[in-house]
Amino acid sequence: MYNNGFLKVAAITPEVYLAKPLKNVEKILEILIGIEANLAVFPELSITGYSLEDLLYSNKLLTETNQAIKYFLDKNKFQGIVVVGSPLTVEGILYNVAIVIRKDKILGIVPKIILPHTHEFNEKRWFNDGTNINQEIEFLGQTVLFGSNVFASEHFNFGVEICADMWGPYNPSSYLYLSGAEVVVNISASTENLNKNKVRRTLVNAVTIRHSAAYVYCSSGVNESSSTVLYGGDKFVYQAGNLVAEKQDYSFDTEILYADIDISSIRYNKRKNGYIKDSKKIAQLNIKNIRFKNLKKDFSLESKMDLTPFVPKIDIGGNFKQITNIQTRSLIKRMRAIDIKTVVIGISGGLDSTLALLQIVKAFKDFNYQLKNVIAVTMPSHPTSERTRKNAELLAKKLGVIFIENPIGNLVDQQLKLIAHSEKDVTYENVQSRIRTNILLSYANKYHGIVVGTGDMTEMALGWCTFAGDQIAHYSLNAGLPKTTVRFMVSQYAKNNNLKELLLDIINTPISPELLENQVTEDTIGSYEVNDFILYRLLKDGDSMERIISFIPDEEKTVRAFFDRFYKNQFKRSTMPEGVKILFAALSSKTDLRIPGDL
């Protein structure tokens, strides 16, 4: 098929060893031995790993990276073209680049142009952008063209862009296609959150339609750090608006996607496409602003707002599966990174700890960890109800994990006596929470494991947690999920016949920290559905308190209370444990929310 106008590509997400360039190159060379393709594509910064943050400044890392690239050039026996990602210093400036290689020759080096500096990304801290750069440089004894260019042959022409280059309103790919590229390769390190894979495909699908061309996308995978986000290893190929192939298994092993691109068809349809012929003229348009007076006529919205926007309404099974993949893989990555096989979790019989335990068990089963290394601890105190205590015990036993019950009533009494306090107030509540956390951390030491936190995103937004109590853990599994999404996930798990009755009872139990007798959370903070609607509007659309009140005027009291609590409790979020981002936004100060604690 090579002589009949086809190109075979391989998009490869390898196992990545963070900050070990030579080991990564050895792995890439090993993979290439078995690759039957004309073009092999590896992810962004795949020689070092993407999620290194300030380690990218390291002299040692950058020296070893260049040595590893030289080793690759000396040992490479692959007959086709390889595109691989690396950091590169040019004239003392650090760039994020794609290196295009044919055997022992570097055909060109392409710098990333759009450096993301929003949400979890902070690339402008480390790299310089490659805008308007096109120069010759000396690298490893070769004279190489450094810039955005088209790599051309009689058989196929291709260009390269890097990750965020495809997300902006103007993309290098458009210029590459208009300059003769028939295929654009994107080496990426794209983080996972719910339905982001659909957005990626929509962007790529549109550009291949407009240019009658092909696009190869290859992202880094779950072996990257899961401190705050998960990288899902998404790979796909589009041609002229048609999905040719896709693969995303969230695997810790190497994943390879093969696809055939019909270059002959692309060339034929590009010749026919009259839109392409005139597109270069658009850059020459002289656009001005024409002002008009503000409109004053008011109106009502035509359609009702979704009041539970965090709850999936379509592709429910797919959403459940993706959230589960993100939570389970992020936990296993953390366990592998620190070489532990045991987790400790406090279970209360409530929604949050139920979901966390369900996902822990799923992760352990998927990756052949022993359930005897899951230590589920319940710690009833004076206000604990028999219903929640019993549900916690039943859940642990039905799931087959180690169950420990440690009543803490006497410890609470001793602590209160020590500080000469007798009132059942916030001090009484927080003493219980901190005792529980202290016990869990001690169990983690005893069993050489980590404490998995169970608190959710809504609770962190409201500050509905005890500082240095349930706010603290070694890894926070639910930190990326609002309460309504937690309920959705548990309800999906309830479809399991063995757990259905128990999980439905947990879902129907009034939400409470049970730190006071007959305490119901929503009596204090308002409905979780309303609070999650407020949180969504704030994070998704930047809505003010007044604008949200205009949407739900009957809930004005809850809206005002939310904003008051949200800003006063930033100090708790500034010190929250690491946990993976799952939705479009998170509350971690390392990803989406950087605001002062004394605002």
Q: What is the pLDDT of residues 539-561, one digit of tens each?
A: 999 999 999 999 999 999 999 99
pLDDT, one tens digit per residue, over 67-125 is 999 999 999 999 999 999 999 999 999 999 999 999 999 999 999 999 998 888 889 99
| Environment class of 25 (CB within 10 Å of its CB; exposed 0-12, middle 13-18, buried 19+) | buried
Q: Of 597, 592, 572, whose CA–CA distance to 229 is shortest? A: 592
Query: pLDDT over 70 for what percent of the chain?
Result: 99
Check if the beta carbon of residue 513 is closer than 8 Å to that of residue 521.
yes
Identify the DSSP state of 336.
Answer: H
Q: What is the pLDDT of residue 118?
A: 85
**Alpha-carbon separation of residue 376 from 171, 203, 367, 409 (angstroms):** 50, 44, 19, 19
Q: What is the pLDDT of residue 433?
A: 96
Q: What is the pLDDT of residue 417?
A: 96
- For the question of whether the overall pTM of this predicted structure is more than 0.85, the answer is yes
- What is the DSSP code string of 474-532? SEETTTT--HHHHHHHHHHHTTSTTTHHHHHHHHHSPP---SSTT--HHHHH--HHHHH
What span, in angstroms and rounded, lies between the C-alpha atoms of 335 and 480? 18
Identify which has the larger pLDDT, 301 or 571. 571
pLDDT at 46 over 90: yes
**Alpha-carbon separation of residue 562 from 429, 431, 541, 569 (angstroms):** 21, 25, 16, 11
**Alpha-carbon separation of residue 58 from 52, 124, 142, 395, 479 (angstroms):** 10, 16, 24, 48, 31
Q: Which residues contact 251 (CB under 8 A, 6 or more apart)?
A: 13, 221, 222, 233
What span, in angstroms and rounded, lies between the C-alpha atoms of 316 and 274? 42
What span, in angstroms and rounded, lies between the C-alpha atoms of 216 and 247? 12
- Other Cβ atoms less than 10 A from the Cβ of 397: the count is 12
What span, in angstroms and rounded, lies between the C-alpha atoms of 524 and 558? 9
pLDDT at 352 over 90: yes
